[in-house]
Amino acid sequence: MPGTDLPRRPRALALTGLVLALTGLAACAPPSSTPAPSADGSASAGAGSSAPSADADPAGCAYPAEGEAAKPVNPPPTGDVETTGTVKYTLQLNGDAPGETGGDVTITMDRSATPCTVNSFASLADQGYFDGTSCHRLADSGLFVLQCGDPTGTGSGGPGYSFADELTGEESYTRGVVAMANAGPDTNGSQFFLVWEDSTGLPPSYTVFGTMDSASRDVVAGIAGEGQDGSYGDGTGKPNNPAKITAVTKG
């Protein structure tokens, strides 16, 4: 799912590539839209506005315009990006479909470790960018991730801007980790993936910006347990469960 080469711009996000890589097949581009950090389809689009220069922000964050936004949204603010403490955001999955497996997935994010990534996610969440979107890709063999964050549901949609990786080189995608999908170095946009079981075969190419608690992991595992349709042709596919993000709230 998290492709090893997941292209995320207008491809399908890295998830795809990762799966291929693990199976010994040719890698795609790094994931950005696919959970396994498939970066392929995630086109970060630039809504046409140019992001502020890195020197405008003490944290060094910059969000240059790229592509067309899959959904109207403004780029993250810079100049006063928080670099300390943690913040929590909760994804309500299938909240408008009582009969479906779902629930709340709370992600705790560390601003000191990945300030620019957390700043982007918070900005998108606060603007309602993720509301009403479905997690479009599920990997449930070898890699165990659910990829979300593309309003188009195709793996090729993004926010109209990109931003740099925040990596240590020691990232490990263990159960409960939340990371950015991408289509290669510094191609982050809006797509991210939730690791519901250890997926340590992934290379340390995807920025880890949060963690889920045990109850949240169980929600994602429950959705994953309903399987996927194999539509990506690499062992991953759209979840059989709607996996719809009804809303994202802070706290």
pLDDT digits (tens, 9 = 90+) for 225-245: 999 999 999 999 999 999 999
Q: What share of the chain in percent tops pLDDT 70?
A: 77
- Retrieve residue 127's tokens: 């603007």
Indicate if the pLDDT at residue 149 is higher than 60. yes
- Retrieve residue 14's tokens: 């890295």
Indicate if the pLDDT at residue 249 is higher than 60. yes
Q: Kindly report the CA angle at 202 between 206 and 88, in degrees rounded to 5?
A: 45
Using the Cα atoms of residue 153, residue 198, residue 203 and residue 121 in order, give the sign of their dihedral.
positive
pLDDT digits (tens, 9 = 90+) for 215-225: 999 999 999 99
Domain spanning 15-46+62-74+83-250, CATH class: mainly beta
Average pLDDT, the chain: 83
- Retrieve residue 150's tokens: 């593309």
Residue 57's pLDDT band (cuts 50, 70, 90): low
pLDDT digits (tens, 9 = 90+) for 168-216: 999 999 999 999 999 999 999 999 999 999 999 999 999 999 999 999 9
**Alpha-carbon distance values, 43 to 31, 156, 200, 232 (Å):** 11, 5, 26, 17
Indicate if the pLDDT at residue 21 is higher than 60. no
Please answer whether residues 157 and 220 qualify as being in contact, where contact means their C-beta atoms are separated by less than 8 angstroms. no
Please give the model's pTM, rounded to 2 decimal places: 0.82
pLDDT digits (tens, 9 = 90+) for 174-185: 999 999 999 999
